Chains A and B, each alone.
Chain A
Amino acid sequence: MTADIHDGKQNSGDLAEDIGQEAQAWLTLFYCEEADEADRHNFSEWLQRSEKHVAAFAKAEKLWDQLAFSPEMLKEPSDRQDRSFSSLLNRRGVLGAIAASIIVMIGVSIVFWQTSVTTDHYRTALGEVENIILADGTKVTLNAASYLETHISNTKREVLLRGGAFFDVVRDESRPFRVTVGGTEVKVLGTAFEVWEGPRTVRVSVVRGAVEVGEGEENAIASLVKLTAGEQVITSLDGHPGKIRSFDPKAALAWRTGHLIYIDVPLEDIVADVNRYRKKKIIITDAALGALRITTAFRVEQANKMLAGLSQSNPLIVEEKSSGVYIRPLSK
């Protein structure tokens, strides 16, 4: 491919049009073909050769980005049956391969305590999000109103969690890192991921690396699901994993900076999160109402406003008493 670009263009490099063509050719090479190390090296050289090259390439990239906004590009695809494409996409994604193969494993062995175990407890108060470094160097951001108990020895790294936390685990092949949340167990080598415990589910989301999620040792048979970066799974409280799906790390981890973002999430999950940040709890009086799907985004300290907003467009009433804030269904 690189031969095409340089063929007979040495002398005409000053012509704006030709430079534009070159820039385009480089762009499409990397987006539409498999570029290799030599291509990257040559592009680098070409880019650095002249300011004109830089400007032309920036222009080409801008156009490429603008294409995604053109309604014309959204029009119906051709009638041609595109079976080969779907199969290519299937082969490419790790998601497909892993989701298709759920490993069944016989129950995990009970934790074996060694004399040199470091045990630590961490507990966050309401509204308090805390950054912690564990004995092995693993960084944890503990969500509000949560509890973390760590047992780290030279052969094991075991962590008990209630509530929620984001983990950035130091890689150590000799000591797999295990997080237990209720009946769900998460096993990692070295990775960045989040664990979130809700009223009815546990959610595990992987930002970097890979984790295995399954039922904890209480159960005789543990079904394992493997997640890689960008993937998320929701398990029931007894650890049984559901479907793997993708997620947006920025939105899912927004809580670390005090933002809460929800798309089509049960009201009870939102309320569970919000209650981590306030003394006066929000209580949903009706189970069906708790399952109501809500889409919203707000800063943690704006929870009351969020509720006021909810009552405007949903069949519910928000009522504040001294014992708590109650959300009732609007009866007919």
Chain B
Amino acid sequence: MNKKDFPHSSKAVSKTYSVTELDTARKNKLRSAGASIQKFTGKSRFIEELYHKYNGELTGWLRKRFGEGPPEPHDIAHTAFEKIAALKNYEHIENPKAFLFATAINTANSAVQRIVRARQFFEAELQNVGHQVEQITPERVLEDRRQLDVVNEVIAKLPAKQREILIRSRIQGQTYVEIGAATGWSKAAISRQLNTALTTLQKALDAIEKEQDTVEEAGSK
């Protein structure tokens, strides 16, 4: 097979030259599996694009929220990308950025023993009572688009203090004591505010669930 002459350009090489083009037999086999090459390259490209697009912003945000660590922001981001790369399916992820950040948040919090142990404890207890513990994976969470939108809207409207406490406890993994030390608020007040915020959120979610039930009922008639 002759080597193709192709123009050298400053841009990265286009697909004029690939391993498969030199091996006719393999090339024919792969042509029929052409779709899978697309898919494979697609995944790699997805991760690469995600990395180039968001690594900087993610690392910067982690640094602002978690400081230098340990664990270091760059390591947390790194681990988050690794986790996403390990997923079997990625095409269904509608909001890759939210997915990525949520993964990074959970990674950062997994350095906090209290949180890790709490998660494991809850999972064990729920399994114990026979509750179908659906793996709360990021993919499943993102499926509930409507709920996520509502959650987001409600948080935007919360009083600043409640939002701050919500962010510190859920995103930064802080205890009431730690939040109190950082903000000067009393532990009782913090606990009250957090619960109020969660109640507000839960009420909003219950409302749309009721809404959906009514719609389904109407639709089935």
Contacts and interface: CB of A to CB of B under 8 A. Distances in A.
A binds B: yes
Interface of A: 20-21, 24-25, 28, 30-35, 40, 43-44, 47-48, 54, 57-74, 76-78, 80, 82, 84-86, 88-90, 92-93, 95-96, 99, 230, 245-248, 250-252, 254, 259, 261-264, 295-298, 302, 304-309, 311-320, 325, 330-332
Given A68-B170, A95-B70, A302-B40, A330 B13 contact: yes
Nearest to B152: A70
Interface residues of B, number: 100
A46 B192 CA distance: 21
A331 B8 contact: yes
A325 B23 CA distance: 12
A134 B37 CA distance: 41
A93 B81 CA distance: 22
A57 B199 CA distance: 13
B175 A32 contact: yes
Given A54-B129, A66-B151, A73-B170, A24 B136 contact: no
A311 B176 CA distance: 52
A33 B175 contact: yes
7 contacts: A63-B205, A69-B148, A73-B166, A248-B79, A312-B14, A315-B12, A319-B17
Interface string B145-158: 00110011001100
Given A48-B129, A89-B70, 20 more contacts: A24-B195, A30-B114, A32-B175, A34-B175, A67-B170, A68-B102, A69-B141, A70-B151, A73-B170, A78-B164, A93-B69, A247-B82, A261-B82, A261-B86, A264-B81, A297-B44, A304-B19, A304-B26, A305-B41, A309-B40
A48 B124 CA distance: 13
A297 B199 contact: no
Q: Which 3 A-B pairs have the closest CB atoms?
A: A95-B70, A251-B82, A86-B67
Contact of B182 (A68, A85, A315): A85
Interface string B76-108: 101101110110000000010011011001110
A261 B88 CA distance: 12
Contact of A54 (B47, B126, B156): B126
B78 A60 contact: no
Given A30-B118, A72-B155, A82-B182, A317 B8 contact: no
Given A61-B136, A63-B198, A308 B182 contact: no
B18 A318 contact: yes
Contact of B105 (A40, A68, A82, A307): A68
